[in-house]
Structure 1
Amino acid sequence: MNAFQLTRRQALASLGAATALPLIQSPAFGQPAPASEAEANALLDSIAENLLRLSPESATSLGIDKGERAYLRSQLSDRSGIGTQRVAQTLRSDLARANAVDVSNLSHATRTSIEVVRSAYATSLEGFMLPYGDVAVGGWRNTPYVVIQNVGAYLDVPRFLDSDHPIDNAADAEAYLARLASYPQQLDNELGRVIAYRYKGLIPPAFLLDKALNQLKQSAKGAREGGGLVESIERRTREEKIPGNWADRARAIAQKEVAPALERQIAELTLQRGMATGDAGMWSRPNGDEYYSWALKASTTTMMTPDEVHAMGLSELEALHARMDVILRKLGYTQGSVGARMTALSDDPRYKFSDGDKGRAEIMAFIQERLKIVRSKLPHMFNTLVRGNLEVRRLPPEEEPGAPGAYGGAGSIDGSIPGKFWINLRTTDLHRRYDLPDLAHHEAIPGHVWQGEYANKMPLIRTMLAFNAYSEGWALYAEQLADEFGVYDDFEVGKLGYLQSLAFRACRLVVDTGLHAKRWSREQGVRFFVERNGSKPEEVASEVDRYCSWPGQACGYKVGHTTINRERDKAKAALGPRFDIKAFDDAVVLGGNVPMDVLAKNVDDYIARARNG
């Protein structure tokens, strides 16, 4: 009998009471007590420390696992059912504390921070009330599946240890090994929840399990053969000239403990593969409609229904295609639908990169060239500039099959860990010269990496809490700014790539709701992208799979982008000639990552200040 095997009762019990936690929306008795700025900020600091203790990896990624927090550098987060319950209990307690604050006399900035905590924590607690899944606390990755092709410690931990965990001295290397030693337990804790959810009837789609199993097998093989987990500490201790048998110690852990833990996950997902169907959407899972309703709310920070989101996508797609049609005709593509013409454009060898490693090098050089161009435009977009501390890196090969084309985010608060623009290079055919500049603007500058540096200057809790609609809405708005400030003036086909990117996000509204609420198949989702938007089949197959494992997440992009533009139009109408694009952009990024209703309040504050100034 496998030492990890769980009975049905043990598996269900491991989830604890996390799925039955009451929400606390307001103090039980009386009115909130008035609070001073100092009291409110002390409360926010306390809430941040409570959240940080639950996520030691965040402390390292933010570069604040020092001093009194140094103990966090050797720890990983608890992904067990009990750990999930502990997170929910902490949120419940701290939400009650935030709700007990009278914000009426606080500054706009501090009041906003309190409102952000209230919104993020209340939404997350609603997610914990549902019967399964990972709930992001002030983040974007809500998922019903604990381990799948783009979710799980088997992906997160190796990437984190290699890219974010520093090794500058022997103590750092010891902390790396301590984390590596706790990694197998983290994998088994996840496995307990995967088994528990199987007993609840939650089985992922067969096509997602196929991808996850291939990737897990690659990870297990790497652990057995002393791959990335060992190579990382071996390489870095050698570069830093840190004496010790680090690689041998890491290899022993990887071979004797990590590989067997990965193989236990493989065994469970193989079992589930035999039970799986090809149904893509949450509608076919237990409590699926309820889960999707919440996931859509969490992603968009609105109360939009699936039907409303679906209709919005179709409407915006039509408007964007009308703009694309004009440019396509200029380029000589006059026949067929916009989607068909974009497919033809994608086949044009002028816009392709070479195959293999030669093409990968071309892509990396091209990204740096386009980033240099957009950096020159930043002083015209913002009054307040940040560094744009950035590193462009290829995704780990074992992650690439289940990953999107790219993603990015800011680095540490102190700048010692740069922001990352992770690019998927499993095949150079994923990218074209006309769409890669826009991708760099979205993921890096002035998108995620750029915006994240402003967030890193805020109170700690604000650095840690993010809202998908704002994060992704800003990244699309960043694409728009790049276009508005002339990066495509001498490269019009690049503007076509930008418009296709927006149309791609409009398609996401249609496909995500189609999969989860309208019973679309995976094939229908892929076909919609290819036929209506001319997207590359290689790219959108992974995209659709992503929507299946992160329900609702893809809808935050265009909803957030449209909301930011609506607020900009409001400010223009209110201020007339006093409207200043640099001041508006500052108001959006300096106000921090917020839900859409709080964004409106931040813009109202900017309008009031501009009128009085």
Structure 2
Amino acid sequence: MIRALFLAATALAAAPALAAPAPVHNATAPAASEGQRLANLFRESDESQLRRNPIQALFRGDMRYAPEFGDYITDRYQAAEKAAGVADLAALARIDRAKLHADDRISYDVFKWQTELTLKGYRPDLLKVQIERPIDHFSGFQVFVPDLSSGEGAAPFKTVADYENNLKRLEGYIVYLDRATARMRQGLADGIVNPKLVMKNVVDQLDGIVAQGVEGSTFYKPVTHFPAAIPAAEQARLKAQYAAFIRDRLNPAHAHLRDFIKAEYLPHARDSVGLGQMKGGPALYRYLVEQNTTTQMTPQEIHALGLREVDRIHGEMEKVKNAVGFKGDLHQFADFLRTDPRFKPATAAAMRDAFIDIDRRVGVVVGRDFSVIPKTPLEVRADPPYREKTSAGGEYNSGTPDGSRPGIFYYNSYDLPSRYTWGYETLFLHEGRPGHHFQISLAQENTNLPAFQRFGGNTAYVEGWALYSESLGYELGFFTDPYQNYGHLNDEILRAMRLVVDTGIHSMGWGRDQAIKYMLENSAMSPTDATAEVERYIAIPGQALAYKVGQLTIRRLRTKAEQALGPKFDVRDFHAQVLMSGALPMEVLERKIDDWIAAKKRS
């Protein structure tokens, strides 16, 4: 799971890029080539998007709009973003794709696919059911703004201006919270509301933020350790300014939102948990399935695929159970793995050290499978306490292209007895190297790509790559311990179960308890993890479908290439082909690999 990129994309509504007005050309100037015209469109579109979505610029390390928070939720913003997508497609249609070089054709196809799909999301009925539910416990602004402003996230705190810019952004955040409250009131009037359990989790989050007080607040952290270059007088001024702002503005804003949810929203929130039970929900879920999988698969097809994958992986688990000599069925084996003390982390520090050691071991062998290694460093950190209860077992936060901010692998040590050592290797391969860290960093560092390919993407590719990366553990020398091998299979079956459970909840009427029961019966997950997973699917429908669909596609393309090329196949070349164009929709990725196979055959 990618914390920063996912939250930024969902919370900012992932609007299409806003195209700038077409430049006026000198009549005597030489005509631009199709490739130049395409590059100009991408550049103008990206520049305009960053002006309208300043937090996206901040995550990139672009400080030009650092004092700004952005709009994101007004009718004016949504209308402008929709108009931008229409303008972008019109400009793209005036470029002759047949005259482009191969890499530019890929960029053309990705840009067209992304913009068309985003525009579909602005259909009035789909936009309404999204914008009137602006906050949940997984992707709401209240989840990632504290980290952004903590001094440990994307926003830098190196100069006096950095500190002042943060307060200016937080003023915009307070405005956003008020506007989100107004949107939720619209939802109440229209019968478009989130489930009770989601909003109870939001209340718990807001309670936690307010309970921190002032000097214990995550937002106060930047003024507890200043860079030496900031003069003492400025430090004192900023410390007082931050304390007053948190006390008088920020904590009251969070309390106001919390009180509104408790008093006005929760009494009318849904007892049901699936989109299928919400007004406008079935159409939104079909759109979210397409958006997240980048395919035309139906919920029913995905549900059936998940059931088949669960059965297949159970067969692999049986082999591990038999190999370690366990007497009993898979349910009993899962209970053993959940309860035996040998599989419990001794301490949170021991958990950290284990992940650091896995990172070291990956570094020694990863060159076997990869010809290009990211320059961006990777750090291992614990999940911050304010979000650990509702966070996944591990998450990735991207670094900046210039390496000034590292990529971060977050591990979750909340409820330590519910964490299992047998899941360590597969978790790190997914969230760290060669999973999210390689894919995101290599794209960001590739300055030959247009910005939307360097910094954008789709969930099927991003999460599909990370799940595929887990399977590379076998060829990189991991999973030699049968229990770590089981941990990999347990994670893989989680992604297969997601196909069953997400579609079950949102398309087939499953309830929360039914979904949790299914996950516990089919894996060695703890009740804590299974509950967090199911409540995540309830909060962000469709996202969990992307992992398995993307992974199966990448694995199928690798098998196709291996069979077609025989001795000419080089896994390092294959991985470069998959990674070095950014996150591609599945159909575009397949065309690229087919073209690569054809070229290799001719060589």
Q: Secondary structure at the match of 1:376?
A: helix
Which of 485, 488, 501 matches 1:495? 485
Do 1:144 and 1:549's aligned partners in 2 also have CA atoms closer than 8 Å?
no
CA positional deviation for 1:96? 2.4
Do 1:588 and 1:599's aligned partners in 2 also have CA atoms closer than 8 Å?
yes
Identical positions, percent = 28
CA positional deviation for 1:130? 4.8
Q: Distance in 1 between matches of 2:127 and 2:463?
A: 22
What do the CA deviations read for 1:473-528 (whole angstroms, capped 9, x no partner)?
A: 00011101122221123x22111111111111000000000000110000010000
Q: Does 1:459 align with 2:450?
A: yes
* Residue in structure 2 matched with residue 94 of structure 1 by the alignment: 88
| Residues 341/74 of structure 1: CA separation in 2 closer, same or farther (3 Å cut) | same
Do 1:50 and 1:90's aligned partners in 2 also have CA atoms closer than 8 Å?
no
Once the two structures are overlaid, the 10-residue window that deviates more, 407-416 or 313-322, is 407-416
Letter in 2 for 1:349: P
Q: Distance in 2 between matches of 1:227 and 1:606?
A: 55
Q: Distance in 2 between matches of 1:580 and 1:512?
A: 36
CA positional deviation for 1:388? 4.9
Q: Distance in 1 between matches of 2:410 and 2:135?
A: 21
Q: Distance in 2 between matches of 1:273 and 1:232?
A: 32
CA positional deviation for 1:34? 9.8
Which of 306, 309, 321 matches 2:299? 306
What do the CA deviations read for 1:369-427 (whole angstroms, capped 9, x no partner)?
A: 11111121211011122235112222222222222222114211111011121222222
| Residues 217/110 of structure 1: CA separation in 2 closer, same or farther (3 Å cut) | same
Q: Secondary structure at the match of 2:522?
A: helix
Do 1:328 and 1:341's aligned partners in 2 also have CA atoms closer than 8 Å?
yes
Q: Distance in 2 between matches of 1:483 and 1:191?
A: 49
What do the CA deviations read for 1:309-343 (whole angstroms, capped 9, x no partner)?
A: 0000010111111111111111122312x244223
* Residue in structure 1 matched with residue 243 of structure 2 by the alignment: 251
Q: Distance in 2 between matches of 1:330 and 1:495?
A: 11
Q: Distance in 2 between matches of 1:533 and 1:511?
A: 13
Do 1:212 and 1:402's aligned partners in 2 also have CA atoms closer than 8 Å?
no
Q: Distance in 1 between matches of 2:350 and 2:377?
A: 22
CA positional deviation for 1:229? 4.3
Q: Does 1:363 align with 2:361?
A: no
* Residue in structure 2 matched with residue 328 of structure 1 by the alignment: 321
Q: Does 1:575 align with 2:565?
A: yes
Matches within 5 A, 1:202-601: 202-222=192-212, 224-237=213-226, 241-243=230-232, 244=234, 245-270=237-262, 271-336=264-329, 338-354=330-346, 359-456=347-444, 457=446, 458-489=449-480, 491-601=481-591
Q: Secondary structure at the match of 1:227?
A: coil
* Residue in structure 1 matched with residue 173 of structure 2 by the alignment: 183
Q: Distance in 1 between matches of 2:295 and 2:231?
A: 51
What do the CA deviations read for 1:11-66 (whole angstroms, capped 9, x no partner)?
A: xxxxxxx9xx9xxxxxxxxxxx995222211111111112222221221221122x
Q: Does 1:604 align with 2:602?
A: no
Once the two structures are overlaid, the 10-residue window that deviates more, 593-602 or 256-265, is 256-265
* Residue in structure 1 matched with residue 21 of structure 2 by the alignment: none
Do 2:324 and 2:482's aligned partners in 1 also have CA atoms closer than 8 Å?
no
Do 2:300 and 2:503's aligned partners in 1 also have CA atoms closer than 8 Å?
yes
CA positional deviation for 1:143? 8.8
Do 1:78 and 1:186's aligned partners in 2 also have CA atoms closer than 8 Å?
yes
Do 1:512 and 1:547's aligned partners in 2 also have CA atoms closer than 8 Å?
yes
Do 1:47 and 1:461's aligned partners in 2 also have CA atoms closer than 8 Å?
no
Once the two structures are overlaid, the 10-residue window that deviates more, 241-250 or 158-167, is 241-250
CA positional deviation for 1:133? 6.2
Do 2:188 and 2:268's aligned partners in 1 also have CA atoms closer than 8 Å?
no
Q: Distance in 2 between matches of 1:229 and 1:314?
A: 42
| Residues 199/96 of structure 1: CA separation in 2 closer, same or farther (3 Å cut) | farther
Which of 109, 113, 119 matches 1:119? 113
Letter in 2 for 1:313: G
Q: Distance in 1 between matches of 2:88 and 2:187?
A: 28
Q: Distance in 1 between matches of 2:229 and 2:426?
A: 37
* Residue in structure 2 matched with residue 50 of structure 1 by the alignment: 48
Matches within 5 A, 1:15-54: 36-54=34-52
Q: Does 1:64 align with 2:62?
A: yes
| Residues 498/239 of structure 1: CA separation in 2 closer, same or farther (3 Å cut) | farther
Q: Secondary structure at the match of 1:176?
A: helix
| Residues 119/430 of structure 1: CA separation in 2 closer, same or farther (3 Å cut) | farther
Q: Distance in 2 between matches of 1:452 and 1:282?
A: 31
What do the CA deviations read for 1:256-277 (whole angstroms, capped 9, x no partner)?
A: 1112221221133112211233
Q: Distance in 2 between matches of 1:278 and 1:436?
A: 36
* Residue in structure 2 matched with residue 15 of structure 1 by the alignment: none
Once the two structures are overlaid, the 10-residue window that deviates more, 466-475 or 185-194, is 185-194
Backbone CA RMSD of aligned residues? 2.2
Q: Provide structure 1 residue ranges, at least 5 long, that are not aligned to the other structure.
A: 1-17, 22-32, 136-141
* Residue in structure 1 matched with residue 25 of structure 2 by the alignment: none
Q: Distance in 2 between matches of 1:186 and 1:327?
A: 51
| Residues 280/325 of structure 1: CA separation in 2 closer, same or farther (3 Å cut) | same
Q: Distance in 1 between matches of 2:231 and 2:586?
A: 48
Once the two structures are overlaid, the 10-residue window that deviates more, 372-381 or 269-278, is 269-278
| Residues 86/117 of structure 1: CA separation in 2 closer, same or farther (3 Å cut) | same
* Residue in structure 1 matched with residue 158 of structure 2 by the alignment: 168
| Residues 251/79 of structure 1: CA separation in 2 closer, same or farther (3 Å cut) | farther
Do 1:373 and 1:487's aligned partners in 2 also have CA atoms closer than 8 Å?
no
What do the CA deviations read for 1:582-603 (whole angstroms, capped 9, x no partner)?
A: 1111110112201000010121
TM-score normalized by the length of structure 1: 0.88
Number of aligned residue pairs: 566
CA positional deviation for 1:239? 5.4
| Residues 98/144 of structure 1: CA separation in 2 closer, same or farther (3 Å cut) | farther
Do 2:219 and 2:246's aligned partners in 1 also have CA atoms closer than 8 Å?
yes
Q: Distance in 2 between matches of 1:395 and 1:130?
A: 38
What do the CA deviations read for 1:282-305 (whole angstroms, capped 9, x no partner)?
A: 011011110110001101000111
CA positional deviation for 1:201? 0.9
| Residues 132/209 of structure 1: CA separation in 2 closer, same or farther (3 Å cut) | farther
Q: Distance in 1 between matches of 2:570 and 2:204?
A: 52
| Residues 505/34 of structure 1: CA separation in 2 closer, same or farther (3 Å cut) | farther
CA positional deviation for 1:86? 2.9
Do 1:474 and 1:560's aligned partners in 2 also have CA atoms closer than 8 Å?
yes
What do the CA deviations read for 1:543-594 (whole angstroms, capped 9, x no partner)?
A: 1011011111100000000000111111112211111111111110112201
Q: Distance in 1 between matches of 2:599 and 2:229?
A: 51
CA positional deviation for 1:202? 1.5
Q: Secondary structure at the match of 1:219?
A: helix
CA positional deviation for 1:347? 1.2
Q: Secondary structure at the match of 1:391?
A: strand
Q: Secondary structure at the match of 2:473?
A: helix
